[in-house]
Amino acid sequence: MKKLLLSLMFAGLIAAGCSLNGGNVILKVNGEPVTQAQFDETFDEWVGDSIFANNKDAVKNKDNMLYGIFKDKVVNELIYNTLLNQEIKKRNIIVTNEDYEKEIERLVGIFGSKSELNSFLRAKGISSAKFKEMTTNELKVRKLADSISKTNVTEDEVANYYKKRKANFSYPEKVRASHILILADADEYAAELKKKNPEITEEELKKRVDEEMAVRKEKAEAVLKEVKNNPRDFAKIAKAKSDDRTSAKQGGELGFFSRREMVKEFSDAAFALPVNKISDLVKSKYGYHIIIVTDRMEAGTFPFSKVKGEIEQTLKTRKQMQIINGLLDALKNGATIEFVNKEYEPSELQKMIDNNEFDEKEDTKAQK
């Protein structure tokens, strides 16, 4: 159910780079500049959210075909963002504090409590400021859609959606846990040593890796002893000593997760632990984990009454997206778009996609 927070799909339409005004101008939309800084930030976000997240440098290589594909998508996104912002300003669309608080109340209802919502955001690395920005942006776009055509969802539409997709509202067994990680990835450390000293022999490399891994295990054992002696200080110790700095900021908190969301060694240990019991050292490819499970949730299916409002908003969001997509196409067709830096003009590939030439070519092939 929590994945439905991603109904914040609207937010991305006007959030990307909207606060960045510096840098060289690469294009103008109805005279409004779009900068290199906006492009760079949005490009990094797109690649970071893709399957190529671990190969950012390769994707950024302008000789790589992937760069061209991402470049065109990002430029198109920035054009749509600018057009959407212009239309929102033109129609004087604003989001009040009351609008925002009402939306937060709706989301808290979905998650069950404000604490659960905050845990989810922490696990996703979304700050409270970023979340407010995303939510406000989504509400603006919803209001824009409703200003064009009021969207309504019937009781039958909601009931049929649940009936046909009931399996989507089932959830696996989950645990809520916190952990402390002491990094001990032998392969990663070996790669670092080779990079610093390309001439190192395999014998010397193995010796130094073994020595370092022994030191890190000793450190993990010392931290485990400290936690076992002071279980109430788990969060405090995690903040000070965990190498997983993202969760460390939250005292090691990971939120609820299913077995598939973690590496096997971690999941096997976490799901075997009683609530409030601290594990022994758990070794994974990342290093040594010390885990404490703080809550459990059995597998089940959310009843219709629990998800009715959620489904209604999902269906309404779909209808609003159709309205916004139609508006954006019309706005783009009537816009004056000037590519100040010719490098960012649509590539031949993007032009073919925009003109549906791929479909025509495929049809021709099929006929042959």
Q: Do residues 105 and 204 both lie within one domain?
A: no
Q: Residue 239: pLDDT band by 50, 70, 90 thresholds?
A: very high
Residue 62: predicted pLDDT: 86
368: in domain: no
Contact predicate 263/184, CB 8 Å: no
102: in domain: yes
Instruction: Name the token pair of 251.
Output: 């005292």
Give pTM, 2 decimals: 0.60
Q: Do residues 150 and 177 both lie within one domain?
A: no
User: 99-124 burial, b if ≥16 CB within 10 A, otherwise e?
Assistant: beeebeeebeebbeeeebbbbbbbbe
255: in domain: yes
Instruction: Name the token pair of 315.
Output: 């269906």
365: in domain: no
Q: Do residues 135 and 35 both lie within one domain?
A: yes
Q: Residue 296: pLDDT band by 50, 70, 90 thresholds?
A: very high
Is 348's pLDDT higher than 60?
Answer: no
Which structural domain range is residue 231 located in?
Answer: 173-298
Instruction: Say which CATH number the domain at 17 has.
Output: 1.10.4030.10
**219, 275, 289 from 292: Cα distances, Å:** 18, 7, 10
pLDDT per residue over 23-32, tens digit each? Answer: 699 999 999 9
Q: Residue 286: pLDDT band by 50, 70, 90 thresholds?
A: very high
**185, 201, 206, 208, 215 from 197: Cα distances, Å:** 18, 9, 13, 12, 21
Q: Give the mean model confidence (pLDDT) for residues 46-57.
A: 83
Nearest to 4 by CA among 260, 298, 308, 303: 308
Q: Give the mean model confidence (pLDDT) for residues 241-268.
A: 92
Residue 234: predicted pLDDT: 97
Q: Do residues 137 and 22 both lie within one domain?
A: yes
Residue 64: predicted pLDDT: 85
Instruction: Say which CATH number the domain at 248 has.
Output: 3.10.50.40
- Angle between helix axes 304-333 and 97-111 (nearest 10 degrees) is 130
Is 127's pLDDT higher than 90?
Answer: no
* DSSP assignments along 331-362, one per residue: HHHT--EE-SSGGGSPPHHHHHHHTTHHHHHH
Contact predicate 193/208, CB 8 Å: yes
Last residue of a domain, one of 244, 272, 298: 298
67: in domain: yes
Instruction: Name the token pair of 260.
Output: 């598939």
pLDDT per residue over 145-175, tens digit each? Answer: 999 998 899 999 999 999 999 999 998 999 9
Q: Do residues 138 and 163 both lie within one domain?
A: yes
- Residue 282: Cβ-neighbour burial (10 angstroms; 0-12, 13-18, 19+): buried
> What is the overall mean pLDDT for the chain?
86
Q: What is the rounded CA–CA span in Å between residue 292 and residue 269?
A: 10
Q: Give the mean model confidence (pLDDT) for residues 185-214.
A: 93
Q: Do residues 11 and 124 both lie within one domain?
A: yes
Last residue of a domain, one of 247, 263, 298: 298
366: in domain: no
Q: Do residues 188 and 87 both lie within one domain?
A: no
Phi and psi torsions of 177, nearest 5°: -145, 165
Last residue of a domain, one of 247, 269, 298: 298
Residue 108: predicted pLDDT: 87
Q: Do residues 196 and 332 both lie within one domain?
A: no
Is 202's pLDDT higher than 60?
Answer: yes
Residue 118: predicted pLDDT: 83
Contact predicate 139/95, CB 8 Å: yes
Q: Residue 235: pLDDT band by 50, 70, 90 thresholds?
A: very high
Q: Do residues 102 and 245 both lie within one domain?
A: no
Q: Do residues 235 and 314 both lie within one domain?
A: no
**15, 100, 129, 314 from 135: Cα distances, Å:** 10, 7, 10, 15
Ranges 45-59, 114-128, 162-176, 202-216: which has the least confidence: 114-128
367: in domain: no
Residue 20: predicted pLDDT: 47
What lies within 8 Å, CB to CB, of 43 at 6+ separation is 60, 70, 71, 74
Q: Do residues 29 and 166 both lie within one domain?
A: yes
**Strand pairing of 25-29 and 32-35?**
antiparallel
What lies within 8 Å, CB to CB, of 307 at 6+ separation is 1, 162, 169
Q: Do residues 71 and 21 both lie within one domain?
A: yes
**37, 60, 186 from 285: Cα distances, Å:** 37, 28, 8
Total domains in the chain come to 2
What percent of the chain stands above pLDDT 70? 88
pLDDT per residue over 302-344, tens digit each? Answer: 999 989 988 998 999 999 999 999 999 999 999 999 999 998 9
Is 83's pLDDT higher than 90?
Answer: yes
